[in-house]
Structure 1
Amino acid sequence: MAAPLSPDRLLAALRAEGVRVVEHPGWRTRNRNHKGPFGPLHGVIVHHTVSSGSAASVALCRDGYAGLPGPLCQGVIDKAGTVHLIAHGRANHAGTGDGRVLRAVVAETAPPAPGRQDTDGNAHFYGFECVNLGDGKDPWPAAQLDAIERACAALCRAHGWTAASVVGHKEWTAAKSDPRGFEMRALRTRIGTRLRSAAPGTPAPGAPAPDTPAPGAPRHHPFPGASFFTAATSSPVITAMGRRLVAEGCSAYAVGPGPRWSDADRRSYALWQRKLGFSGSDADGVPGRTSWNALKVPYTR
């Protein structure tokens, strides 16, 4: 239970979590507060847009459409992993849902299967619309999933909530099927891990990784780049990575790990990517910045 974050605090929370943010004109005052309350806030609902393209999806969620006026969320998360802030306050995103689910979110317990339409969700949840066709085939890029995780974690951290405060639209009401294409339980697991172990301010995908951490912080090896991981590479960094994979229960090693990049390293790393919730080509066993930063490989010379 919490009062809504102010626009400045919302923006600061997202940026502190390493989220790339675009502020769209008028977002700080765009809302539907004239139609009902916004607060007390209890959690975050994740949606898919059933649209494609960043600009078109932002316009849709900002303006709405016949029968459902905008704004349709507070933020739109595109496939590149950018959060577009379009509103602050009440938005037409959750609609009515099951009060039992709201009570579970308040208690931070697993939500029951929704069946009732008895509670105004727009009053009690932030909403992120995520650009995806919602057909079960449109991919969810790793950068987008990372941004969803970070954005939800930012609000949870700011309010002192746990990952149980994040639900999918389909978990709020049986009338909806979104988000389709990834599991909310896996998302909550990643959010929970981030809240427990990742300090705010870790870089978003594509941002340079710092070589030297803040005083007193653990020193982790910066991402060496995907091209580092080839059969020609022999480095103690590979050994350190392998030991972390083993510690995380993601081992496909018969022997080792050792310093030379091998198929066993690739298969072990693919297990780690899948543990984080990645799939398809995003779980091919070749390290990327997001999964590498999450692994926290000790700094190695």
Structure 2
Amino acid sequence: MATPMTPAQWRTALQAEGVKFTEYSNWTTRGRDSATGKTFGPVHGVLNHHTAGSNSLKAVAVDGAPALPAPLCHTFLPKTGIAVMVSCHRANHAGLAASNVIAAIINEKTLPKQNKATTVDGNDCLYGIETENLGDGKDAYTKAQYDAWVRWNAAICRHHGWGSGSAAGHLETSVEGKIDPKGPVEGYGSRGKFTFSMKQLRADVAERLKHAASWSPGTSSTYTVASGDTLWSIAAAKLGDGNRWQEIATLNGLLHADAIAPGQKLKLPPK
């Protein structure tokens, strides 16, 4: 748990992580705190959504939904990948969340199936992002949009010292049958088209957090050979597939898999 980010902290964290963003008018004062008598925070994690619509900025920022006043998130993420800051206070995005799932988010444990018998108001303690997508299983998240999505989650986690286990999807916390986020993704880094999942998003956030905030996916990195390493073991550990040892060999002009020595620096291809 942590104190919610201030506007200045939001700007610093997003800029460092490479998130392009704009600021909706009055985003620094817009929220549901006064109307509900409940103060936003302490915060426990990040909740990810899709809008189930298009051109949704005004709806999430000002208009709201039936029986659900705006703001409906902290950040709106359109297809362009240029995020829009909507609020830094309490927002109507999470609804009732299963207490056992919130506990797992706090402790960064594998998220359990929702126990619907005990709930908390997720709006009190979770940051929320609405990523524009129809949610019909056909509408694709753009490459720029997904890249910004990963960076946005990582920016918050890095600021608070959290790991990727602090990121969740609405379908994982909701006791009301929410199904978001879902849908196809055009690509990410050197990866081609794939189907969105919170498992993959968390993995991509975790990978970002291993690097400096300025890092970009799909770029080469380096590795210093340790005693006992082989190209196969390096490929398995760093690229997730031991059979990619030949890519490392080719990139470094090596003739065979055992032509490495402790202390040697190797270039690694994109993961």
Question: Do Structure 1 and Structure 2 share a fold, with TM-score over 0.5?
Answer: yes
Q: CA deviation at 1:2?
A: 0.5
Q: Pick one of 198, 213, 218 that aligns with 1:184.
A: 198
Gaps of at least 5 residues in structure 1 are: 210-217, 221-242, 260-292, 297-301
Counterpart of 2:20 in structure 1 is 20
Question: Taking structure 1 as reference, are residues 162 and 258 closer, same or farther at Cα in structure 2, changes over 3 Å only?
Answer: closer
Counterpart of 1:266 in structure 2 is none
**Any idea what SS the aligned residue of 2:92 has?**
coil
Question: Taking structure 1 as reference, are residues 204 and 5 closer, same or farther at Cα in structure 2, changes over 3 Å only?
Answer: farther
**Any idea what SS the aligned residue of 1:72 has?**
coil
Q: CA deviation at 1:204?
A: 9.4
Question: Taking structure 1 as reference, are residues 28 and 73 closer, same or farther at Cα in structure 2, changes over 3 Å only?
Answer: same
Q: CA deviation at 1:163?
A: 0.4
Counterpart of 1:108 in structure 2 is 108
Q: CA deviation at 1:37?
A: 2.2
Q: CA deviation at 1:24?
A: 1.2
Counterpart of 2:90 in structure 1 is 90
Q: Is the 8 A contact 2:100 2:115 kept in 1?
A: no
Q: How does 1:1-301 map to 2 (within 5 A)?
A: 1-34=1-34, 35=36, 36-52=38-54, 56-63=55-62, 64-116=64-116, 118-174=119-175, 175-181=177-183, 182-196=196-210, 198-202=211-215, 248-250=239-241, 258=250, 295=270
**Any idea what SS the aligned residue of 1:5 has?**
coil
How far, CA to CA, are the matches of 1:124 and 1:106 in structure 2? 10
CA displacement, residues 19-78 of structure 1 (integer Å, 9 cap, x when unaligned): 0011111111000012122111010000000111xxx31111102122111000000111
Q: CA deviation at 1:115?
A: 3.4
Q: Is the 8 A contact 2:47 2:168 kept in 1?
A: yes
- Alignment TM-score, normalising by the size of structure 2: 0.76
Question: Taking structure 1 as reference, are residues 248 and 95 closer, same or farther at Cα in structure 2, changes over 3 Å only?
Answer: same
**Any idea what SS the aligned residue of 1:46 has?**
strand
Q: Is the 8 A contact 1:15 1:201 kept in 2?
A: no
Q: Which amino acid aligns with 2:28?
A: R
Q: Which has the higher helix share?
A: 1
Q: Is the 8 A contact 1:244 1:295 kept in 2?
A: no
Q: CA deviation at 1:173?
A: 1.0
How far, CA to CA, are the matches of 1:204 and 1:78 in structure 2? 20
Question: Taking structure 1 as reference, are residues 27 and 258 closer, same or farther at Cα in structure 2, changes over 3 Å only?
Answer: same
Question: Taking structure 1 as reference, are residues 295 and 254 closer, same or farther at Cα in structure 2, changes over 3 Å only?
Answer: closer
**Any idea what SS the aligned residue of 2:156 has?**
helix
Residue correspondences, number: 226
How far, CA to CA, are the matches of 2:245 and 2:70 in structure 1? 56
**Any idea what SS the aligned residue of 2:102 has?**
helix
Q: Is the 8 A contact 1:7 1:28 kept in 2?
A: yes
Q: CA deviation at 1:82?
A: 1.3
How far, CA to CA, are the matches of 1:203 and 1:58 in structure 2? 27
How far, CA to CA, are the matches of 2:6 and 2:149 in structure 1? 20
Q: Is the 8 A contact 2:235 2:243 kept in 1?
A: no
Q: Which has the higher strand share?
A: 2
How far, CA to CA, are the matches of 1:28 and 1:39 in structure 2? 15
Q: Is the 8 A contact 1:18 1:204 kept in 2?
A: no
Q: CA deviation at 1:295?
A: 2.1
How far, CA to CA, are the matches of 2:246 and 2:269 in structure 1? 24
How far, CA to CA, are the matches of 1:10 and 1:251 in structure 2? 39
Q: Is the 8 A contact 1:20 1:204 kept in 2?
A: no
Question: Taking structure 1 as reference, are residues 119 and 249 closer, same or farther at Cα in structure 2, changes over 3 Å only?
Answer: closer
Gaps of at least 5 residues in structure 2 are: 184-195, 224-233, 252-267
- Alignment TM-score, normalising by the size of structure 1: 0.68
How far, CA to CA, are the matches of 1:169 and 1:190 in structure 2? 18
